Amino acid sequence: MGVIMFDNLSDRLDAVFKKLKGHGKLTEKNIEEGLKEVRMALLEADVHYKVVKKFVADIKERALGQEVMESLTPGQQVIKIVDQELTELMGGRLENLNLSGSHPASIMLVGLQGSGKTTTAGKLAVYLRKQGRKPYLVPADIYRPAAIDQLNKLGDQLGVPVFPSNPEIDPVKICQQARTTAHRELCDTLLIDTAGRLHIDEELMTELCRIKDAVKPSDILLVADAMTGQDAVNIAESFNNTLNIGGVILTKMDGDARGGAALSIKSVTDKPIKFIGVGEKLSDLEPFHPDRMSSRILGMGDVLTMIEKAQTIVDEKKAVELEKRLRKNEFTLEDFRDQMVQIRKMGSISELINMIPGMGKIKQLKNLEVDENEFIKIEAIINSMTPQERHQHTLIKGSRRKRIAKGSGTSVQDINNLLKNYTQVVKMMKKINKGGMRELGQGMLPF
Amino acid sequence: MAFTWFQKNEEVKEGGQEKSTGFFNRLKKGLSKTRKVLSTDINDLFAGNRKIDDELLEELEELLITSDMGVRTTMDLIESISKKSSEISGADQLKKALKENILALLNSEKPCPQKITTGPLVIMVIGVNGVGKTTTIGKLAAKFVASGEKVIIAAADTFRAAAVEQLAIWAQRAGVEIVKHKDMSDPAAVAYDGIQAALARGADVVLVDTAGRLHTKKNLMEELKKIKRAISKKLPEAPHEILLVLDATTGQNALSQAELFNDALDVTGIALTKLDGTAKGGIVVSICSTLEIPLKYIGIGEKIEDLQEFDSVRFVNALL
Ligand SMILES: Nc1nc2c(ncn2[C@@H]2O[C@H](COP(=O)(O)OP(=O)(O)O)[C@@H](O)[C@H]2O)c(=O)[nH]1
Ligand SMILES: [Mg+2]
């Protein structure tokens, strides 16, 4: 698989329009060339064929407008339009769980086998508890071996009560009984973990309807894997037609899937994506951000997510401070060192890079092994600098380099490398500040 | 009518048999009565002996892309077809040419299976979360038992809640022994013990289950390597097979999964699960051709008998 496959859309569009430069004003045909690249990017991201077709047709008019035709950077303009429209399509209002109606409230989790329903039930329990509610876990998967055990264990871990299901009871009965016992357990919100099923399995789809009729849930959430391919439209359509779902949770977003299924699902159901799952821990549930999803689908990654992830680990104030400084292009060697320390806390750099969709695939980065010793070296080097040097790296010339190398037990070569990396980071930061994420081309991550 | 690649528990005829569309259609109809119309039927595409024109090629493109074949593979296939378009007179020939092309991609050079000189055949099963590793192990165990082999399963998913309990139920269904430790214990130690038990008890096959993990998590990939090393430590030739389980519902990301798991562990075979749904798993075509890893098994349901050995001719016949 060539690298081209994963080049980000921004680069590809630039390439298209660069080719056409010198031919004077852009023509309609030129723009169509560019839209072809948009189409490819969306298809590679797993957006459904028909959804892509419609989307590209819809944005064509805007792309043919003056803002693109007369722009010096038509590629960037097209990206801007695509990004805006995608964000709009997936966005609308940010919607929370629906907990209205009968008491106790019930939330039904439905979806294919292996999409992550049980883990998501545990995560929602954590989320609801944080909101001051009293969740009650209801295992209604009587089919998959040990599915009930799994939810019981999660409940134990969390200290959240679990309805004592067993595989002999009909799932509808389980849910009905759970409503009564929830009262006794002083719980106000049922989280019903249904069995995974194929959307074409009529018998099991009917079972879901029966559960719905019996408990009248306030929300029904389709749990779908972010890695889902073209079939996402069929799955979402069937579940929505059968149950009139209230929203969607996209799981396994911590991988490197571009997540085009999000757009497919949204466009066939018109139901909001309410949360995303970003890890195996029960706290790894986040609200859905349409703008980030858009950059991700377009293969342009998202620095914001990285900054945010850093924030949850790093002390918040410091991160805000850092972000401000980044914006003002005041990123010093000290900040660089702090970042290294933080990154080490956050896990390997390659993992971080993998948060940027597409980046993980770039050959130069793929085999990038992070050497713990490298971190230790960097820290030692920066620690051996004077405060002035740390704030103004241009001071560090030949003799100073020798001194620092000696002080940190490294070589001048190491100092040179570090400074090179650092200036690249600064350059990248400047680019981001100037043009937003889309300025960040391939191979820019200089670690 | 719905088009599915595989039908369970039913002989799907191979070779030229699908030409007698009567039989094939009846079979498909009979089995898909509960299935809705979800995708274009390729036979409609070729109905009435259409000319090969842009319109037909576009429909073909849609068909290939919606099977998750990927943009690149689809473009390549269509390009080679349209190059030959002067030699191809009708739809039948087009279909044949397409089949041949896809078959060629699927039939990559298979690496020779490693010779087993001593001890049991060891199969280590890996993949991302929820793809069907544990279920596939249950099905495989039953298959080996049916051919008279003594099987031991090692429960090296010590991470996911109740993973061991799930596997234990499968072991019981298949009638085989299971080696397990406590939750959260070292998976490499479980695998090691599994091999040891197999050697001591004279088992023919060891199936090692592992916890699902995203291929992008470096430390978890390291853990897999460690499990593999533990196995080799006890039995130097083993594991003989590293079976990567992929979910047919997965789109282009399956390629990334295959690449990264292969980089870390040298995958020797693929099992593609959930083909009983409407997803077609077309991404395996690029996986097989670019990584030269053979597709060995397909999963077509949740029952113990719902595992088939992969047959590329049948696969392509079902696709087209
Ligand atoms: N329909 C269908 N479901 C499957 C198939 N293989 C596995 N599953 C289901 O997928 C879910 C996850 O399977 P499991 O074996 O626990 O996955 P693991 O996490 O990879 O071990 C379970 O509900 C299985 O019953 C298959 O071929 N078809
Ligand atoms: Mg498992």
User: Does the beta-carbon distance from A198 to B276 stay under 8 Å?
Assistant: yes
Q: Is residue B111 part of a domain?
A: no
Angle at B173 between CA B170 and CA B175, to 5 degrees: 105
Angle at A314 between CA A309 and CA A318, to 5 degrees: 115
Altogether, the residues listed in chain B come to a count of 320
Mark whether B126 and B82 lie in a shared domain: no
Q: Is residue A250 part of a domain?
A: yes
**pLDDT-wise least confident of B88-97, B180-189, B255-264:** B88-97
**φ and ψ of B259, to 5 deg:** -60, -50
**pLDDT tens, A430-447?**
766 654 443 333 333 333
Whether a cis peptide bond, with omega within 30° of 0, leads into A164 is: no
**pLDDT tens, A69-78?**
777 777 777 8
Please tell me which residue, B24 or B81, carries the higher pLDDT value. B81
Please indicate if any CB of chain B lies within 8 Å of the CB of A242.
no
Evaluate if residue A60 carries a pLDDT over 50.
yes
User: Does the beta-carbon distance from A354 to B169 stay under 8 Å?
Assistant: no
Averaged pLDDT for residues A90-116: 90
Mark whether A122 and A19 lie in a shared domain: no
Tell me which DSSP letter residue A367 carries: T
Domain edge (last residue) among B106, B130, B145:
B106
Residues of A within 8 A of B252 (CB-CB) are 44-46, 229, 258
Evaluate if residue A370 carries a pLDDT over 60.
no
Tell me which DSSP letter residue A385 carries: S
What's the pLDDT at A9? 67
Averaged pLDDT for residues A68-87: 81
pLDDT band at A152 (very low <50, low <70, confident <90, very high): very high
**pLDDT-wise least confident of A168-172, A233-237, A375-379:** A375-379
Averaged pLDDT for residues B291-313: 91
Mark whether B146 and B209 lie in a shared domain: yes
What's the pLDDT at A291? 86
**pLDDT tens, B118-144?**
789 999 999 999 999 999 999 999 999
Q: In angstroms, how far is the first alpha carbon of chain B from the final one?
A: 14
Please tell me which residue, A114 or B42, carries the higher pLDDT value. A114
Picking from A48, A113, A238, A242 by the largest number of B CB atoms within 10 A of its own CB, the best residue to mutate is A113
Q: Could you give the CA distance from residue B194 to residue B189 in angstroms, rounded to a whole number?
A: 8
Please tell me which residue, A125 or A69, carries the higher pLDDT value. A125
Q: Is residue A37 part of a domain?
A: yes
Domain edge (last residue) among A297, A314, A338:
A297
What's the pLDDT at A378? 85
Mark whether A431 and A339 lie in a shared domain: yes
Number of domains in chain A: 3
Q: Is residue B72 part of a domain?
A: yes
Mark whether A64 and A137 lie in a shared domain: no
| Average pLDDT, rounded, for chain B | 83
% of chain B at pLDDT higher than 90 = 57
User: Does the beta-carbon distance from A149 to B162 stay under 8 Å?
Assistant: yes
Mark whether B246 and B143 lie in a shared domain: yes
Please tell me which residue, A422 or A15, carries the higher pLDDT value. A422
Domain edge (last residue) among B106, B140, B163:
B106
Task: Identify the domain containing residue A17 by its residue range.
Answer: 3-90
Evaluate if residue B11 carries a pLDDT over 80.
no
Please tell me which residue, B56 or B40, carries the higher pLDDT value. B56
Please tell me which residue, A197 or A379, carries the higher pLDDT value. A197
- Interface pTM, i.e. ipTM: 0.85
Evaluate if residue A242 carries a pLDDT over 80.
yes
- Whether the CB-CB separation of A298 and A79 falls below 8 Å is answered with yes
Please indicate if any CB of chain B lies within 8 Å of the CB of A418.
no
Please tell me which residue, A237 or A379, carries the higher pLDDT value. A237
Can you give the C-alpha Rg of chain A in angstroms? 25
Beta bridge partners of A108: A192, A220
Strands A135-140 and B241-247: unpaired
pLDDT band at A312 (very low <50, low <70, confident <90, very high): low
Mark whether A203 and A156 lie in a shared domain: yes
What's the pLDDT at B189? 97
- Whether the CB-CB separation of B7 and B320 falls below 8 Å is answered with no
Sort B87 into a burial class: Cβ within 10 Å, 0-12 / 13-18 / 19+.
exposed
**pLDDT-wise least confident of A27-36, B202-211, B250-259:** A27-36
- One-letter amino acid for residue B255 of the chain: L
Averaged pLDDT for residues A29-33: 83
Mark whether B88 and B201 lie in a shared domain: no
Please tell me which residue, B184 or B242, carries the higher pLDDT value. B242
Considering only CB atoms, B249 lies closest to which of A145, A154, A231, namely: A231
% of chain A at pLDDT higher than 70 = 78
What's the pLDDT at A346? 52
Q: Is residue A163 part of a domain?
A: yes
Domain edge (last residue) among A297, A331, A348:
A297
Picking from B74, B167, B225, B253 by the largest number of A CB atoms within 10 A of its own CB, the best residue to mutate is B253
Please tell me which residue, A202 or A8, carries the higher pLDDT value. A202
What's the pLDDT at B48? 63
* Distances, alpha carbon A30 to alpha carbons A27, A36, A60, A68, A141, in Å: 5, 10, 12, 11, 54
Q: Is residue A372 part of a domain?
A: yes
Mark whether B280 and B186 lie in a shared domain: yes
pLDDT band at B7 (very low <50, low <70, confident <90, very high): very low
Q: Using the atom order of ligand 1, give the atom closest to the CA of residue B301.
A: 28
- How many angstroms does the Cα of residue B165 sit away from the middle of ligand 2? 10
**Which residues, 6 or more positions from B17, have their beta carbon under 8 angstroms from its beta carbon?**
B23, B24, B317
pLDDT band at A317 (very low <50, low <70, confident <90, very high): low
- How many angstroms does the Cα of residue B278 sit away from the middle of ligand 2? 23
Please tell me which residue, A332 or A136, carries the higher pLDDT value. A136
Domain edge (last residue) among B106, B131, B153:
B106
Q: What is the pTM assigned to this prediction?
A: 0.78
User: Does the beta-carbon distance from A44 to B62 stay under 8 Å?
Assistant: no
Task: Identify the domain containing residue B140 by its residue range.
Answer: 121-310
**Which residues, 6 or more positions from B62, have their beta carbon under 8 angstroms from its beta carbon?**
A49, A50, B40
**pLDDT tens, A337-360?**
877 766 665 554 555 555 544 444
Coil/strand/helix, residue A349: helix
Mark whether A12 and A147 lie in a shared domain: no
pLDDT band at A103 (very low <50, low <70, confident <90, very high): confident
| Average pLDDT, rounded, for chain A | 82
Evaluate if residue A244 carries a pLDDT over 50.
yes
Mark whether B165 and B232 lie in a shared domain: yes
Mark whether A195 and A313 lie in a shared domain: no
Please indicate if any CB of chain A lies within 8 Å of the CB of B286.
yes
Q: What is the CATH number of the domain that holds B97?
A: 1.20.120.140
**Which residues, 6 or more positions from A260, have their beta carbon under 8 angstroms from its beta carbon?**
A42, A43, A45, A46, A47, A48, A297, B251
Any atom of ligand 1 within 6 Å of the Cβ of B301: yes
